[in-house]
């Protein structure tokens, strides 16, 4: 079969080459079409609004769930985070970006932060993780458990185990919680309704991915890096300065109490 292709002696694939010459125009056209379509698609992607950022008016539409508060609920800027303990992007944000954001905004009193559980259906152990964190909150250590869960996500997620309780119990112990009390809370799934309320808040706001943040009237999906995050904060600060230099906009949910993280 291959020998039949070698007829003229001008190159081993003379016939193939001549066939290719005949078919080179369709090839060039196909290549050109792909190139044009590709460039146009990339141009469209670059030009479209970033990250599907949408406006949110929290004064008109305050949160109906409390979430978990970090920092001062009366700080000028209130930030909401909707996240899933088993989501890798959320863990990336929590471990890489959030510590710096806390130093810059929370510890300085410039902002308050609320975490809302948004357990996603594809994550096997995320409800259990939210349960573990809620029970830690009962003893005033939600954020310690939050940090522990995200930092060690690969040790308790659905890939690592189908029964993460023992891992969580170890975290409760290392955080100095009253373990029997925590365990009783965990086994009773005591705060399921609270987690469900946080999730309902995310669904009510049509949040489609985790993590999603609400920063000063903008809802932003995706694991932002530090610079991206602070850009939204400075944009908000500038808009506040331009609108009313001394105004403070408290976007704390109506139900929230200063400093309180209890359900």
223 binds other proteins (CB under 8 A): yes
> Could you tell me what percentage of the chain is helix, strand and coil, using 3-state DSSP and rounding each to the nearest 5?
50, 10, 35
52 binds other proteins (CB under 8 A): yes
Extract the tokens encoding 123.
């994550």
- State the DSSP H helix or E strand holding residue 80, giving kind and residue range, or none if neither: strand 77-83
Question: Residues 88, 155, 170, 190: which binds other proteins (CB under 8 A)?
Answer: 88
Write out the binding residues for other proteins, residues 12-51 only, by CB under 8 A.
12-13, 16-17, 20, 23-24, 27, 30-31, 34-35, 38, 41-42, 45-46, 48-51
Contact string (CB under 8 A) for other proteins, positions 138-157, x = contact: -------------------x
Can you tell me the distance from the alpha carbon of 145 to that of 164, in angstroms, rounded to the nearest whole number? 14
Query: In the sheet that 218-221 helps form, which strands lie side by side, from edge to edge?
Result: 54-55, 218-221, 212-215, 77-83, 111-117, 68-71
234 binds other proteins (CB under 8 A): no
Least distance from other proteins to the Cβ atom of residue 27, Å: 5
Can you tell me the distance from the alpha carbon of 215 to that of 232, in angstroms, rounded to the nearest whole number? 7
Question: Residues 80, 83, 87, 195: which binds other proteins (CB under 8 A)?
Answer: 87
206 binds other proteins (CB under 8 A): no
Q: Indicate the residue among 96 and 244 with the shorter CB distance to other proteins.
A: 96
5 binds other proteins (CB under 8 A): yes
Owner of token pair 């979430």: 67
Can you tell me the distance from the alpha carbon of 161 to that of 113, in angstroms, rounded to the nearest whole number? 31
- What Cα–Cα distance (Å) separates residue 44 from each residue in 2, 40, 132, 210? 46, 6, 44, 25
Q: Could you give phi then psi for residue 80, rounded to 5 degrees?
A: -115, 135
Least distance from other proteins to the Cβ atom of residue 176, Å: 30
Question: Residues 54, 62, 64, 89: which binds other proteins (CB under 8 A)?
Answer: 89
Number of residues that bind other proteins (CB under 8 A): 46
- What Cα–Cα distance (Å) separates residue 53 from each residue in 50, 154, 217, 234, 238? 6, 30, 10, 16, 18
Q: Indicate the residue among 227 and 246 with the shorter CB distance to other proteins.
A: 227
Name the site residues for other proteins (rule: CB under 8 A): 1-3, 5-6, 9-13, 16-17, 20, 23-24, 27, 30-31, 34-35, 38, 41-42, 45-46, 48-53, 87-89, 92, 122-123, 157-159, 209, 221-223, 225, 228
């Amino acid at each position: 079969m291959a020998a039949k292709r070698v007829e003229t002696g001008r190159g081993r694939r003379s016939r193939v080459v001549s066939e290719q010459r005949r078919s080179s125009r369709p090839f060039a056209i196909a290549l050109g079409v792909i190139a044009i379509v590709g460039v146009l698609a990339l141009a469209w992607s670059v030009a479209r609004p970033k990250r599907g950022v949408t406006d949110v008016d929290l004064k008109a539409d305050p949160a109906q769930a409390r979430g978990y508060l970090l920092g001062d609920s009366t700080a000028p800027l209130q930030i909401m985070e909707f996240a899933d303990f088993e989501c890798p992007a959320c863990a990336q944000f929590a471990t890489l970006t959030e510590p710096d954001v806390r130093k810059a905004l929370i510890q300085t009193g410039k902002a308050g932060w609320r975490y809302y559980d948004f357990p996603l259906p594809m994550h096997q152990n995320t409800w259990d993780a939210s349960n573990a964190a809620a029970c830690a909150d009962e003893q005033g250590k939600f954020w310690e458990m939050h940090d522990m869960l995200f930092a060690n996500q690969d040790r308790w997620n659905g890939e690592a185990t189908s029964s993460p309780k023992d891992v969580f119990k170890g975290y409760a112990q290392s955080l100095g919680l009253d373990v029997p009390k925590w365990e009783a809370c965990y086994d009773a799934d005591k705060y399921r309704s609270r987690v469900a309320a946080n999730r309902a808040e995310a669904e009510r706001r049509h949040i489609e991915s985790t993590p999603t943040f609400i920063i000063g009237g903008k809802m932003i999906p995706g694991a932002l890096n530090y610079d991206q995050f602070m850009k939204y904060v400075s944009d908000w600060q500038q808009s506040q300065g331009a609108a009313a230099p001394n105004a403070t906009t408290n976007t704390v949910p109506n139900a929230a109490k200063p400093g309180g993280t209890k359900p």
